[in-house]
């Protein structure tokens, strides 16, 4: 089985780089990070993402628009909100979102 593709959207570049690095420490996951809505939409259409991780700073209007577009493109996409808390919490959120078959 290949790596699980995860799209990370975060408005703060430094935090984005940290989150992507933490996710990519897991050999089963591959994170791609973006800052803007346009980057998110373009990137989402290019790779078979299983999960989208929404970081802090995303305005409600943008979040609603992005989630609707992601679901229209892939109704099975998993969308998780992550607002910090360290690598342990991040990993737990991803595992929980992926479900028991990934534990």
Six-digit token string for 23: 């996710």
Give the three-state DSSP class for 54: strand
What range defines the domain where residue 58 resides? 4-102
pTM above 0.85, yes or no: yes
| Beta-bridge partner residues of 4 | 29
Residue 7: burial class (beta carbons within 10 Å; 0-12, 13-18, 19+) = buried
Q: Please count the structural domains in the chain.
A: 1
Q: Is pLDDT above 70 for 56?
A: yes
CATH of residue 60: 3.40.50.2300
Is pLDDT above 70 for 87? Answer: no
pLDDT recorded at residue 80 = 94
pLDDT score of 13: 93
CA proximity to 32, closest of 10, 14, 12: 10
Is residue 17's pLDDT more than 70? yes
Query: With pLDDT > 70 as the criterion, what percentage of the chain qualifies?
Result: 92
pLDDT band for position 70 (cuts 50, 70, 90): very high
Q: Is 57 within 8 Å of 63 (Cβ atoms)?
A: no
């Amino acid at each position: 089985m290949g790596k699980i593709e995860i799209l990370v959207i975060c408005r703060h570049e430094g935090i984005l780089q940290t989150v992507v690095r933490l996710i990519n420490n897991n050999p089963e996951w591959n994170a791609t990070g973006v800052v803007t809505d346009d980057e998110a939409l373009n990137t989402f259409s290019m790779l078979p993402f299983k999960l989208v991780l929404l970081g802090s700073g995303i305005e409600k209007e943008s979040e609603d628009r992005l989630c609707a577009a992601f679901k229209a493109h892939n109704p099975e996409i998993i969308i998780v909100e992550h607002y910090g808390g360290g690598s342990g919490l991040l990993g737990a959120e991803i595992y929980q979102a992926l479900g028991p078959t990934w534990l």
